[in-house]
């Protein structure tokens, strides 16, 4: 076998996996987003139109004129806000946790990593309903606060944006902790000692040495949390009560109740485009600005 042929043979499994599982479904979605919805769901394969994308920004009034419709943009903005807040909160909780884990004795570290991954073993639905039991009126949180005398009236946490935030932070925390932990664990301890030695107290050693060197982990964690949080629909639905529509729920509705596949696909593509642009902008800035450590 010639060298190019052998090389092609070796990369074939990877290409096949990516092609069948990633590229093909994406292409299918792209095609669907340019079709016309069928009268009873599905799509009409022979009719092409960009109406689905137009619908994202405009609606037709009674006179059949296009007027700007900000409903969907507002949903997008709300989802981005929620995802950003989730990322910030998981970082706030996750970084100290990862730092603490990385400085435990080696034997205990393995156990801690294991403990962090335990929630993955249970279905997200089950975990969300568990939070319902905790947060509802008369639930564990409410009961405890009343008994402690912190509150006299039932606090209504469930079905509020706060409940959604708690649920999202809870479910995405491991995705933030693990990448940061990995980058902190391989950090040379002598660098921290050197910082102390040169007169940096704990805070300044953290800010000047530990944080910059943990940056790849922090960025990785932020992407791993932000992107799925953007499309999350189970948590806002169950803990937020589905009161405020999120991108995830919106897209899910288009394929479900609304039976408007082209619009659902178009929404998914707009989301994909925004995320990709953001990542590219970040990659460009990171490359030209601070040089990443090797």
Partner 1 sequence: MAEATVLELRQHDRTARSGGIAAADTAVECRDLVKTFAGGVVRALDGVSVAIRANEFFTLLGPSGCGKTTLLRIIAGFETQDAGSVLVHGQALDGLPPFRRPVNTVFQSYAVFPHMTVEQNIAFGLEMQRRPRQDIGRRVAEMLTLVKLDGMGKRMPAQLSGGQQQRVALARALATAPRVLLLDEPLSALDLKLRTGMQLELKRLQAEIGITFIFVTHDQHEALTMSDRIAVMNGGKILQIGTPEEIYERPSARFVADFIGETNLLEATRIGERRFRLASGETVETAEAGPAGPAGDAVTLAIRPERANLAPPESAGLAGRVEQIVYEGTDTTYYVLLASGFRFRLSEQNRDGAQPRVRPGDAVAVALPAAAIQVLVA
Residue 149 touches partner 1, criterion: CB under 8 A: no
Are the C-beta atoms of residues 76 and 84 closer than 8 Å to each other? no
Name residue, tokens 């279905």.
123
Please identify, among the stretches 48-56, 188-196, 227-235, 244-252, the one whose residues bind partner 1 according to the rule CB under 8 A: 188-196
Residue 198 touches partner 1, criterion: CB under 8 A: yes
Please identify, among the stretches 63-71, 200-208, 228-236, 261-269, the one whose residues bind partner 1 according to the rule CB under 8 A: 200-208
Helices (H) and strands (E) in the chain, counts: 14, 4
Q: Which of 105, 201, 257, 288 binds partner 1 (CB under 8 A)?
A: 201
Pick 85 or 200: Cβ nearer partner 1: 200
Query: C-beta of 1: minimal distance to partner 1 in Å?
Result: 39
Tell whether the torsion through CA atoms of 266, 268, 274 and 277 is positive or negative: negative
Q: Which of 46, 188, 257, 289 binds partner 1 (CB under 8 A)?
A: 188
> How far from 256 is each of 37, 249, 251, CA to CA, in Å?
13, 10, 9
Which token pair is 192?
């921290």
Across the chain, the runs of DSSP E, i.e. the strands, are 35-37, 43-48, 58-60, 66-68
Residue 218 touches partner 1, criterion: CB under 8 A: no
Residue 61 touches partner 1, criterion: CB under 8 A: no
Query: C-beta of 193: minimal distance to partner 1 in Å?
Result: 6
- Which residue(s) pair with 58 in the sheet? 68
Residues within window 233-292 making contact with partner 1, judged by CB under 8 A:
290-291
Residue 196 touches partner 1, criterion: CB under 8 A: yes
Pick 65 or 291: Cβ nearer partner 1: 291
Query: C-beta of 271: minimal distance to partner 1 in Å?
Result: 34
DSSP state of 292: P
Of 183, 180, 202, 182, nearest to 192 (Cα)?
202
CA distance 227 to 229: 5
- Which residue(s) pair with 37 in the sheet? 43
Please identify, among the stretches 43-51, 115-123, 139-147, 187-195, the one whose residues bind partner 1 according to the rule CB under 8 A: 187-195
Binding site for partner 1 (CB under 8 A): 188, 190-191, 193-201, 204, 208-209, 212-213, 290-291, 293-294
């Amino acid at each position: 076998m010639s060298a190019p042929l052998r090389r092609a043979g070796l990369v074939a499994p990877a290409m096949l996996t990516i092609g069948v599982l990633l590229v093909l479904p994406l292409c299918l979605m792209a095609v669907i987003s340019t079709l016309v919805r069928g009268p009873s769901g599905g799509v009409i394969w022979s009719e092409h139109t960009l109406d689905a994308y137009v619908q994202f920004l405009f609606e037709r009034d009674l006179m059949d004129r296009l007027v700007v419709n900000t409903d969907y943009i507002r949903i997008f903005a709300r989802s981005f806000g929620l995802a950003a807040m989730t990322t910030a909160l998981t970082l706030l909780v996750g970084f100290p946790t990862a730092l603490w884990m990385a400085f435990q004795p080696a034997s205990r570290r393995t156990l801690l990593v294991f403990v962090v991954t335990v929630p993955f073993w249970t279905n997200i639905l089950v975990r969300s309903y568990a939070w319902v039991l905790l947060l509802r009126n008369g639930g564990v949180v409410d009961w405890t606060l009343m008994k402690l005398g912190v509150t006299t009236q039932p606090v209504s946490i469930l079905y509020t944006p706060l409940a959604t935030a708690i649920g999202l932070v809870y479910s995405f925390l491991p995705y933030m902790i693990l990448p940061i932990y990995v980058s902190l664990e391989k950090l040379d301890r002598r660098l921290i000692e050197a910082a102390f030695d040169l007169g940096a107290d704990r805070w300044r050693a953290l800010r000047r040495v530990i944080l910059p060197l943990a940056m790849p982990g922090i960025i990785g964690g932020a992407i791993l949390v932000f992107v799925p949080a953007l499309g999350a629909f189970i948590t806002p639905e169950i803990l937020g009560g589905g009161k405020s529509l999120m991108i995830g729920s919106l897209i899910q509705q288009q394929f479900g109740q609304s039976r408007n596949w082209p619009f659902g696909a178009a929404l998914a593509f707009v989301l994909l485009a925004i995320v990709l642009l953001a990542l590219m902008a970040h990659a460009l800035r990171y490359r030209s600005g601070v040089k990443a450590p090797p």
